[in-house]
Chains A and B, each alone.
Chain A
Amino acid sequence: MALLAVENVYKSFQGFLALAGVSLEVAEGSFHALVGPNGAGKTTLFNVITGRFPPDRGSVIFQGKPITGWPTHRVARLGLAISFQRAQPFASMKVREAVTLARLGYAGATFHLLRPLGAFTEALDAAREALAKVGLEDQADRRVSELPLGDLKRLDVAMALVAKPKLLLLDEPLAGLSRAERRRMVGFIRELLRREGVTLLFTEHDTEAVLELADRITVLHQGRVLVEGNPEEIRHDVQVRAAFLGGTA
């Protein structure tokens, strides 16, 4: 059984059909890439999966459980974590605080009104561990607003990892990063997530990185699944070449 199944999902915005019947299955333990030109519907699909808005039609099933239309916070608590394309973690906090809050959020444990955040040792330990995984442990006491973009991206990933997610969604994890940072992030994703046994669904424009990371690739084009296959198949697919060269398939 697939960890995540998206079935025949439609979503339109003011007449623009962003998703036109997308179906997708993410197998447990796989690294699944979602690629396609801008406007193909990748981010919209992520937003439907995480409950930022409900689909017009179709369903989303996570671990065999229908979660279509669930609010974002409930989806997150199931172990479906996301790191956003535009990483803007909580700017008024310190790095450690942002990750600790995330940990308590996933556990539904933020309704403590009198105990200070610093007394939640389990969450603090989990935050320290997550920060160590992304290599930000020595930045824990810095203000989030002082971090450069590359560190913000890694912090945002730590805020997802601290959930110990079953499924991690990464929306363009390499966007805006320098060449060196890209290499680092790719290495990090491959080694860390494999070791942790996290299933990954990600979008990325960097074709090289996609072919290196993914073991399954779904190509979206104009809100539809153009083709799906392993990296070798996708590399030689005529339709994909046509779509990315701007022609019609």
Chain B
Amino acid sequence: MAAVEIDVKYVAHLARVTLTSEESQRLGAQLGNILGFIEKLNEVDVSQVEPTAHAVPLVNVTRPDEIRPSLPQGDALRNAPAKANGLFMVPKIVE
């Protein structure tokens, strides 16, 4: 099966990861191979197969609209790299 060309730089940007050129090359080849495996589907007749959104044949999993206890604020913020006044602090948001 042929590896598929992918824009590693673009995908890396979408995932917000920085890659060295050596990593780009290695991961690009691996990702291409993975897509190559999926390309195999093109060789099979799937015209009689219904597309599915989920592998498990189950629908309507819901819960009643009831309030349950939340975390105490201190616990909620415990993993925060920075916090102040009960807020998760992040670099200044600009858009």
A and B are interacting partners:
no
Residues of chain A touching chain B, judged by Cβ–Cβ distance below 8 Å, are none
